[in-house]
């Protein structure tokens, strides 16, 4: 088939061009994830009130910061723009330092709900990641693995913030380690998915 | 990269191409075809710039794959940004992919053999797309081919494929998606040297 014939076939396709619409898709995925959490996991008793305690405020806001740090890296209109990754590294470093301090202070590392945490965060990340990847599929992604990793980290961070509404493990030694691991797990899964499904 | 002074007259100016793409995104199919026609010479120049000389024969395949990608992802082009740099990124990465998929066996350009004239038209151009088409279901391949001939009457086609006009549109769109996927896959890539 020569190039002119290909152009004729492409011009005959009048299905409107799909736009990435990342913000809308993510809002939808996040809403699904929130509803799932409220229905199947349930809000912890006295949730918004407990946020007045410093470690809980950290537990609730740190994953949101991870998601916020990954977001600008995903939303760029120039396909080859490279945003710096240092905000994510900074968050990881601060969390690791906080975790070490908390362990030295005798915090409870293993807690009671370790597996629930490690499994729930990726499960709640799935609706967000699916919505995000549907949008990214319509975009030119010259570095699919990197974009997939960032999409996974964003979904994991957002899902951890959702899960924190349910989780009642309040030791920083617990949540910094296991939330962090769960978010990284989401990032790795996103990286693999990106290699498989994203591209130019 | 985008403005070759000698070429500007022949292939349209950047802003003309961009204006056509904007119209195309608003649903003007004739503007869309014109836009792609104007882009192709630019994309050929980009592809031959990106490919080393001994792989120059891949240029048309790169252009065709890039056209499919532009078609499927044109909705992500930011209308406030120039179009040509966006196209440039796609062509560059399609060229990288094409080189990655091609075994490094030395290609002997026919020009090096005295007495053998290089053909005017490259007989291998479009072979990669043909191979991708052959990996589609017969119906998908037929849908693409029928529309490629141009001037196909939608009503006759709906009857031929036993689809309502709406379903025909969607079927063509999906066939083109699968064609782009098939063209990107590495399997069954046969070296063309």
- Write down the pLDDT at residue A127: 97
Find out whether B58 and B99 touch, Cβ atoms under 8 Å. Answer: yes
Domain residues for A115?
22-197
| Domain co-membership, B89 together with B23 | yes
pLDDT for residue A60 is more than 70: yes
Which letter, b or e, does each residue of A19-55 get, where b requires 16 or more Cβ atoms within 10 Å of its Cβ?
ebbbeebbebbbebbbebbeeebeeeeeeeebbeeeb
Total tally of structural domains belonging to chain A: 1
Q: How far apart are CA A93 and CA A104, in angstroms?
A: 17
Mean pLDDT by 10 residues, chain B (193 residues): 46 87 93 94 93 87 95 93 94 92 64 57 75 91 88 79 88 94 69 45
| Residue B27 included in any domain | yes
Q: Which of A43-57, A88-102, B35-49 has the lowest mean pLDDT?
A: A43-57
When computed from its CA atoms, the radius of gyration of chain B, rounded to whole angstroms, is: 18
A3 contacts B40? CB cut-off 8 A: yes
Q: What's the mean per-residue pLDDT of chain A?
A: 90
- Write down the pLDDT at residue B7: 45
- Write down the pLDDT at residue B8: 46
Query: What would the pLDDT profile of A114-154 be if each residue is shown by its tens digit?
Result: 899 999 999 999 999 999 999 999 999 999 999 999 999 99
Distance between start and end Cα atoms, chain A = 22
How close B130 gets to chain A, by Cα (Å)?
Answer: 6
B67 contacts A7? CB cut-off 8 A: yes
Which letter, b or e, does each residue of A108-145 get, where b requires 16 or more Cβ atoms within 10 Å of its Cβ?
eeebeeeebbeebbbbbbbbbbebbbbbbbbbbbbbbb
Chain A CB within 8 Å of residue B64 CB: yes
- Write down the pLDDT at residue B189: 46
B133 contacts A1? CB cut-off 8 A: yes
**On the CB side of B22, how many CA atoms lie within 13 Å of its CA?**
12
| Residue B112 included in any domain | no
How many beta-carbon pairs below 8 A join chains A and B? 111
pLDDT for residue A94 is more than 60: yes
Nearest chain B residue to A5, by CA:
B148
Of B27, B29, B73, the CB nearest to A139: B73
Give the mutation candidate from A4, A9, A146 for the B interface (greatest B CB count, under 10 A). Answer: A9
| Domain co-membership, B73 together with B131 | no
pLDDT for residue A193 is more than 90: yes
| Domain co-membership, B76 together with B129 | no
Give the mutation candidate from B44, B148, B173 for the A interface (greatest A CB count, under 10 A). Answer: B148
| Residue B119 included in any domain | no
Find out whether B125 and B60 touch, Cβ atoms under 8 Å. Answer: yes
Query: What would the pLDDT profile of B31-42 be if each residue is shown by its tens digit?
Result: 999 999 999 999
| Domain co-membership, B143 together with B190 | yes
Q: What is the CATH number of the domain that holds B64?
A: 1.10.1740.10
What integer is the mean pLDDT of A89-115?
A: 89
Q: How far apart are CA A65 and CA A43, in angstroms?
A: 21
How close B106 gets to chain A, by Cα (Å)?
Answer: 26
Q: How far apart are CA A165 and CA A68, in angstroms?
A: 18
| Residue B118 included in any domain | no
| Residue A12 included in any domain | no
Domain residues for B162?
124-193
Q: Which of residues 14-43 of B touch A (CB under 8 A)?
A: 25, 27, 29-30, 32-33, 36-37, 40
What integer is the mean pLDDT of A178-182?
A: 94
**Counting every residue, how long is chain A?**
200
Q: What is the CATH number of the domain that holds B130?
A: 1.10.10.10
How close A107 gets to chain B, by Cα (Å)?
Answer: 48
| Residue A13 included in any domain | no
Q: Which of A88-92, A167-171, B76-80 has the lowest mean pLDDT?
A: A167-171
| Residue at token pair 């407990």 | A50
DSSP structure class, residue A142: S
**Counting every residue, how long is chain B?**
193
Percent of chain B that is helix, strand, coil (3-state, to 5) = 70, 0, 30
| Residue A34 included in any domain | yes
| Domain co-membership, B83 together with B20 | yes
Total tally of structural domains belonging to chain B: 2
pLDDT for residue A113 is more than 90: no
A13 contacts B172? CB cut-off 8 A: yes
DSSP structure class, residue A44: P
Q: What's the mean per-residue pLDDT of chain B?
A: 83
Q: Where are the alpha helices (DSSP H) in chain A?
A: 3-12, 22-36, 47-50, 54-74, 86-104, 114-136, 144-163, 172-197
pLDDT for residue A171 is more than 90: no
| Residue A8 included in any domain | no
Chain A CB within 8 Å of residue B69 CB: yes
| Residue B66 included in any domain | yes
What tokens were used for B79? Answer: 């209308």
Whose CA is closest to B67, among A8, A23, A96, A136? A8
pLDDT for residue A185 is more than 50: yes
A18 contacts B69? CB cut-off 8 A: no
- Write down the pLDDT at residue A184: 95
What tokens were used for A36? Answer: 């799932």
- Write down the pLDDT at residue B163: 87
- Write down the pLDDT at residue B110: 58
Q: How far apart are CA A53 and CA A99, in angstroms?
A: 17
B176 contacts A13? CB cut-off 8 A: yes
- Write down the pLDDT at residue A177: 92
- Write down the pLDDT at residue A182: 95
| Domain co-membership, B58 together with B135 | no
Chain A CB within 8 Å of residue B93 CB: yes
| Residue A7 included in any domain | no
| Residue A82 included in any domain | yes
């Amino acid at each position: 088939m020569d190039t002119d014939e290909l152009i004729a076939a492409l011009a005959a396709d009048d299905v409107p061009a799909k736009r990435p619409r990342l913000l809308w898709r993510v809002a939808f995925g996040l809403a699904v994830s929130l509803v799932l959490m409220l229905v199947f996991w349930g809000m912890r008793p006295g949730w918004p009130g407990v946020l007045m305690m410093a470690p809980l405020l950290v537990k609730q806001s740190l994953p949101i910061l991870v998601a916020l740090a990954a977001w600008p890296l995903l939303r760029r209109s120039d396909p080859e723009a490279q945003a710096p990754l240092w905000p994510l590294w900074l968050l990881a470093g601060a969390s690791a330092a906080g975790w070490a301090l908390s362990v030295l202070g005798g915090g409870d590392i293993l807690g009671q709900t370790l597996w629930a945490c490690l499994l729930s965060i990726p499960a709640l990340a799935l609706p967000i990641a699916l919505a995000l990847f549907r949008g990214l599929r319509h975009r030119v992604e010259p570095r699919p693995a990197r974009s997939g990793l960032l999409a996974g980290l964003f979904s994991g961070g957002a899902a951890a913030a959702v899960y924190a509404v349910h989780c009642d493990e309040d030791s920083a030694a617990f949540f910094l380690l296991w939330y962090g691991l769960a978010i990284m797990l989401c990032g790795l899964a996103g990286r693999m998915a990106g290699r498989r499904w994203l591209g130019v | 990269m985008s403005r070759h002074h000698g070429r500007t007259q022949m292939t349209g100016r950047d802003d003309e191409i961009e204006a056509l793409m904007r119209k195309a995104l608003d649903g003007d199919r004739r503007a869309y075809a014109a836009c792609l026609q104007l882009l192709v010479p630019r994309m050929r120049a980009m592809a031959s710039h990106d490919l080393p000389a001994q792989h120059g024969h891949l240029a048309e395949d790169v252009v065709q794959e890039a056209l499919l990608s532009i078609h499927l992802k044109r909705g992500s082009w930011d209308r406030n940004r120039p179009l040509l740099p966006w196209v440039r990124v796609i062509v560059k990465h399609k060229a990288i992919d094409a080189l990655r998929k091609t075994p490094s066996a030395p290609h002997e350009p026919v020009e090096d053999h005295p007495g053998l004239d290089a053909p005017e038209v490259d007989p291998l151009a479009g072979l990669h797309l043909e191979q991708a088409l052959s990996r589609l279901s017969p119906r998908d391949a037929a849908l693409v081919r029928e529309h490629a001939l141009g001037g196909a009457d939608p009503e006759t086609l709906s009857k031929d494929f036993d689809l309502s006009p709406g379903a025909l549109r969607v079927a063509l769109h999906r066939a083109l998606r699968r064609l782009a996927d098939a063209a990107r896959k590495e399997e069954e890539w046969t070296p063309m040297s």
